[in-house]
Structures are given as C-alpha cells and as structure tokens.
C-alpha cells in the first residue's frame, strides 16, 4: 500500500478532537530506493515520535536500572501479588517487606517488557505496523505490547471517552510515549 493511501486511512480513523493536531509524516529518499524513509508522528507541528531517534522529548530507557530508579513510574500492587510472595517465602517475611518485594518483582517484569517494546519499535517498520493496525480489532491494538499499536489505538475515534477514562490504571504500566498520547487524548474531553 502506498504511503499516501495508508496516511489517508490512518487519518480517517483519527479522533475528531485530534484532527489537525496529530499528523503522520514520512520522509522518502528518492535517489536511494534501497534506503527506507523515516516515519514519525507530530503533535501540534512538533515531532514527538521518531522511530530512529531516541533523543526526543519522551524518555527512552537504556537499561533496566533506569526504569527501576525512575520516580515517575507508579506500580500498583494488589493483594493477590502480596499473597503469592507470602506463599513463596512461607510466611517468614514481615508484612511491610512483602510490599517491597512485590513491587520490585513487578518493576523487573515491567522493565523487561518496556525495553523489549522499545527495541521492537526502533526496529519496526511504521508501514507494516500501521497496516497491521488497520487489519486487526481496536481491542487487540489496545491490549498489544507494541508501543505503536497502542498509540494508533489511543488516537482512534473508535475509542470513546468512557473507555479512555477506564484505562487510567493500565496506562501507568505503559511506556512514557504511550502515556503521553493517552494524556493527549484525555485532554480533549
């Protein structure tokens, strides 16, 4: 599918409140057919997500320790996770320490997921992911671990206000760029 056709389809699914604010852009290399162009998302004429640029305004993590030490990441811990650790330790660990262990385990899992998602994004081809987005359900895009699929779903008009507001807890566990687009969409209500 040509870029112009793909862009037109993506823009047709854009939320009316974000129409004109969020743009899909691509650069091509006319005289270098073997070199792929760069695709990126712009918000209010500012380049926000460039697949090959990790120095943008959104935080890109390089190591698991950076994620663990980031004070902006809030990890909700539920009772079941604490009980699982209590069973693992056979009840020998004090109650306040169980929460610390549960949070640490959950952050480690999250860190691995975030780094893997970032790696996949930097290697991904925007056109391939966008075509996939157009062919799968909006639910699959929202539940996916793919950062780009999450973003495309969040700015989609098929995701309503109630649904956006109900996913606040899930968004805390997503990559900062997904959180950015979530907040952008929430700000339109």
Residues 182 and 124 in one domain: yes
Task: Flag whether the pTM goes above 0.85.
Answer: no
Residues 68 and 138 in one domain: no
pLDDT in tens, 106-131: 888 877 777 776 666 654 577 788 88
What lies within 8 Å, CB to CB, of 149 at 6+ separation is: 129, 132, 133, 140, 141
Residues 13 and 88 in one domain: no
Query: What is the pLDDT averaged over residues 52-81?
Result: 70
What's the rounded Cα separation, in Å, for the pair 140 and 61?
25
Query: What is the pLDDT averaged over residues 90-98?
Result: 85
Residues 68 and 21 in one domain: no
- Residue 53 pLDDT > 70: no
Strand ranges, E, within the chain: 22-27, 38-43, 46-50
- Residue 35 pLDDT > 70: no
Task: Report pLDDT for 122.
Answer: 53
Q: Report how far apart, in Å, the C-alpha atoms of 113 and of each of 35, 116, 157, 159 are.
A: 29, 5, 27, 24
3-state secondary structure of 86: helix
Give the structural domain span for 43.
3-58+116-186
Residues 53 and 82 in one domain: no
Residues 70 and 50 in one domain: no
Residues 46 and 107 in one domain: no
Residues 46 and 131 in one domain: yes
Task: Report pLDDT for 166.
Answer: 92
Residues 68 and 106 in one domain: yes
- Number of residues that make up the chain: 189
Residues 69 and 152 in one domain: no
- Residue 37 pLDDT > 60: no
Q: How many domains does the chain have?
A: 2
pLDDT-wise least confident of 7-16, 51-60, 153-162: 51-60
Residue 60 or residue 102, greater confidence: 102
């Amino acid at each position: 599918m040509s870029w112009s056709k793909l862009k037109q389809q993506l823009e047709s699914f854009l939320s009316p409140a974000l129409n004109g604010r969020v743009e899909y852009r691509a650069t091509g290399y006319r005289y270098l057919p073997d070199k792929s162009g760069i695709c990126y998302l712009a918000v209010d004429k500012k380049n926000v997500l460039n697949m090959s640029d990790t120095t943008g305004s959104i935080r890109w993590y390089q190591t698991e320790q950076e994620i663990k030490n980031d004070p902006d990441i809030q990890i909700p811990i539920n009772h079941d996770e604490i009980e699982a650790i209590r069973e693992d330790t056979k009840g020998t660990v004090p109650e306040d320490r169980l929460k610390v262990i549960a949070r640490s385990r959950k952050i480690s899992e999250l860190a691995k997921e975030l780094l893997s998602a970032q790696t996949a994004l930097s290697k991904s081809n925007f056109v391939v992911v966008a075509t996939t987005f157009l062919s799968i359900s909006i639910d699959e895009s929202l539940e996916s671990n793919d950062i780009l699929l999450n973003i495309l779903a969040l700015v989609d008009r098929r995701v309503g206000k109630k649904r956006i507001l109900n996913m606040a807890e899930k968004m805390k566990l997503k990559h900062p760029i997904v959180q950015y687009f979530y907040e952008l969409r929430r700000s339109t209500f």
